[in-house]
Amino acid sequence: MADVVTLREAVAELVHDGDTVALEGFTHLIPHAAGHEVIRQGRRDLTLVRLTPDTIYDQMIGMGCAGRLVFSWGGNPGVGSLHRFRDAVEHGWPVPLEIEEHSHAGMAAAYAAGAANLPFGVLRGYAGTDLPERTSSAAWIDCPFTGERLAAVQAVRPDVGVIHAQQADREGNVQLWGISGVQKEVVLASRTSIVTVEEVVDRLEPRPGAVFLPSWVITAVAMAPGGAHPSYAHGYYERDNGFYQAWDPISRDRDAFIEWMQRHVLDTADVVEYHASLEAAVA
Amino acid sequence: MSDHTAEEMMAVAAARRLRDGATCFVGIGLPSRAANLARATNAPNCVLIYESGTIGAKPRNLPLSIGDGELAETADIVVSVPEIFSYWLQGGRIDVGFLGAAQIDRYANLNSTVIGGYEHPKVRLPGGGGAPEIAASCDETLVMLRHSPRAFVERLDFRTTVGYGDGPGSREELGLKGRGVSAVITDLGVLEPDPDTCELTLTQVHPGVEPEAVVAATGWPLRVAEELATSPAPSNEELVALRALRTVDEA
């Protein structure tokens, strides 16, 4: 059964230096509040896993939380580069970042294999590309039935899987809807999990097409209203496209980045204060 | 309305390549603009699929990311990321892949990973994302990028995505199911693979573009087709539809 706790408690209890941590959410429901809490608690040397690193991993990498990144597309969607990610790869700032990269299809297969308790996933992919040469978690396998050569990707098994969802009930059952990415897979592939939610309700109304995660597959549930910002929560608030554009100049400059993180993350206690600090900056 | 930019000509030329009713796996940016222009003009029944798992998306405004709420709200169905890549793409159900890239070579192989060496890159690019398997599994692939010697290179810094590999027979040897890149649409013209050698050849120039200018903007000795076509200038209808496409932040 999931414990319904504060996000601070969940991160203190479950995320340790050196852990492999996957914060997932494909454009939608990206768990920014949880990432901010990891930054506040000063975690180091994490292996971060995620298909699309997005601004939250840019922030975690820039604040020195990560020693390694496993990913498939590291950009600021619709805007351009992730400058903190690039600075870490190109110049080792603030600490060197090892990378292990896949394609989206490979990452999806690796998560699905992890959720299914298999050692690897299999796909038609990578053939003829330079990716397998650079990635120790991709290899070749011959089909035992047809002899066809296929790509194998090592299963992703994070110490902690982190997602954001719209709702939980008081028992810690979780429901999310809209674009669902690999959220189900990451929770089921991970040894422990944290789910942040927009709200805790008395009773979850079943929704057709929604992903339901029962309390007994989740370790901790924490309230984080607005916790996906600048990503969005379908039915609650829209993607803050202006933020993604504004992030480009902030993240280009090391000093501007540090100043922003100090003001909006380190000097705020939680997601409510984070939002208040953003509003104060606009006012 | 004959006044148009090279950028607009590129979008229009790309949109015309999408046939009505085709299922199309769409990358963000230039491909998304062109695919939605096609949906507004010559291919109203094309089925747009984004890697966020949105199938049959009909966005009213152009999304900034591949997972905007607009795509989910207007889709026929939204499936998970493992499902879109395994059942739908790898399952061989998509007609056309629509991609961009930072670099391309004469065999239409693409680089979207690094400029410079891998260990110490000059520019770290976003990476493969969905592209490697889109180009492997879609029945055909369209590529859009702006023409320059830095983009059209003799040798890629990294092969992220396979077009025709090392030339004729490569795709078959690698077990790639789709037929490969059928056209590269740029701001200067259109390149298509030679049926015998697979080498990209200039087959079409946009109005007012001399083939010599395209050769000069290409980093390998570009072959020019004997019968070189000129793209029809964008029609009034195409330009109106294109200019009506707004990204979500402009809407």
**Residue A215, in any domain of the structure:** yes
The reply to whether residue B175 touches residue A149, judged by beta carbons under 8 angstroms, is yes
| Closest CA in chain A for residue B170 | A128
Q: Which residues of A touch B122 (CB under 8 A)?
A: 90
Q: Does residue A72 sit at the B interface (CB-CB below 8 Å)?
A: yes
**Considering only residues 15 to 34 of chain B, which have any Cβ-Cβ distance to chain A shorter than 8 Å?**
28-29
Residue-level pLDDT at A283: 74
Mutation target to probe the A interface, by most A beta carbons within 10 A, among B32, B65, B157 is B65
Is residue A173 a part of any domain in this protein?
yes
* Shortest Cα distance, chain B CAs vs residue A140, angstroms: 12
pLDDT (tens digit, 9 = 90+) per residue, A124-149?
Answer: 999 999 999 999 999 999 999 999 99
Instruction: For residue A111, list chain B residues with Cβ-Cβ distance below 8 A.
Output: 82
Residue A147 inside a domain? The answer is no
Please provide the average confidence, as pLDDT, over all residues in chain A. Answer: 97
- Regarding an ipTM greater than 0.85, the answer is yes
Find the domain containing A172 and state its range.
3-102+157-282
CB contact under 8 A, A234 and B69: yes
Instruction: Please indicate whether, in this complex, the C-beta atoms of A78 and B65 are within 8 angstroms of each other.
Output: yes
Residues A230-257 have a mean pLDDT of: 97
Percent of chain B clearing pLDDT 70 (strictly above): 98
Q: What is the pLDDT of residue B67?
A: 84
pLDDT over 70 at A123, yes or no: yes
Termini Cα distance of chain B = 24
Per domain, the residue ranges of chain B are 6-244
Q: Sort out which chain B residues have CB atoms less than 8 A from A124's CB and list them.
A: 90, 133, 136-137, 175, 177
The string of pLDDT tens digits covering residues A39-89 is 999 999 999 999 999 999 999 999 999 999 999 999 999 899 999 999 999
Two tokens, residue B120: 């110490």
* Beta-carbon separation of B85 and A108 below 8 A: yes
pLDDT at A222 over 90: yes
Cβ within 8 Å of residue A92, ≥6 positions away: none
pLDDT bin (cut points 50, 70, 90) of residue B1 is very low
User: What secondary structure, in 3-state letters, does chain B show?
Assistant: CCCCCHHHHHHHHHHHCCCCCCEEEECCCHHHHHHHHHHHCCCCCCEEEECCCEECCCCCCECCCCCCHHHHHHCCEECCHHHHHHHHHHCCCCCEEEECCCEECCCCCEECCEEECCCCEEEECCCCCCHHHHHHHCCEEEEECCCCCCCECCCCCCCCECCCCCCCCHHHHHCCCCCCEEEEECCCEEEEECCCCCCEEEEEECCCCCHHHHHHCCCCCCEEEEEEEECCCCCHHHHHHHHHCCECCCC
Rounded alpha-carbon distances, angstroms, from residue A138 to B56, B157, B174:
32, 20, 16
pLDDT, one tens digit per residue, over B20-63 is 999 999 987 889 999 999 999 999 999 999 999 999 999 988 88
pLDDT tens per residue across span B58-111: 998 888 888 888 899 999 999 999 999 999 999 999 999 999 999 999 999 999
Asked if B90 lies within 8 A of A111 by C-beta distance, the reply is no
Collect all residues of chain B within an 8 Å Cβ-Cβ radius of residue A102.
128
Q: What is the pLDDT of residues B133-162, one digit of tens each?
A: 999 999 999 999 999 999 999 999 999 999
What stretch of H or E contains A189?
helix A183-189
Residue positions of B annotated with a catalytic role: 51
pLDDT value for B68:
84
- Are A160 and A15 contacting, i.e. CB atoms less than 8 angstroms apart? yes
CATH number reported for the structural domain that contains residue A274 in this entry:
3.40.1080.10
**A125 → closest Cβ in B127, B129, B136:** B136
Name the residue among B63, B80, B129 with its Cβ closest to that of A72.
B129
The CATH number that domain B6-244 falls under is 3.40.1080.10
Residue A152 located in a structural domain: no
CB within 8 Å of chain B, chain A residues 79-138: 79, 81-82, 85-86, 89-90, 101-105, 108-109, 111-112, 123-131, 134
Residue A49 included in any domain: yes
Q: Tell me, what's the pLDDT at B2? A: 64
Report how far residue A24's alpha carbon sits from residue A30's, in angstroms, rounded to the nearest whole number.
6
Q: How far is CA B5 from CA A125, B42, B85, B250, in A?
A: 38, 20, 36, 20
Give the mean pLDDT of B168-184.
96
Asked whether residue A213 is assigned to any structural domain, the reply reads yes
Binding-face residues of A in 199-228 toward B, CB within 8 A? 209
Neighboring chain B residues of A73 at a CB cutoff of 8 Å: 126-130
Residues 75-134 of B with CB under 8 A from A: 78, 80-82, 85-86, 89-90, 113, 118, 120-133
User: Which residues in chain B have Cβ-Cβ distances shorter than 8 Å to A242?
Assistant: 249
Q: Mean of the pLDDT values across residues B196-209? A: 98
Instruction: Please report where in the chains the tokens 């085709």 appear, as a residue.
Output: B22
- Sign of dihedral through CA atoms B123, B118, A161, A104? positive
Note the pTM of the prediction, 2 decimals.
0.96
User: In this predicted structure, what is the pLDDT of residue A112?
Assistant: 98
**Residue A222, domain member (yes or no):** yes
pLDDT higher than threshold 80 for residue A19: yes
Residues of B in contact with A232 (CB under 8 A): 69
- Confidence label for A232 from pLDDT (cuts 50, 70 and 90): very high
Which of A81, A179, A187 is most worth mutating to test chain B (most B CB atoms within 10 A of its CB)? A179
How many structural domains does chain A have?
A: 1
Residues 223-252 of chain A with CB under 8 A from chain B are 232, 234, 238-239, 241-242, 244-245
Question: Does the residue A192 lie in any domain?
Answer: yes
A51 contacts B159? CB cut-off 8 A: no
- For A197-211, write each residue's pLDDT tens digit: 999 999 999 998 899
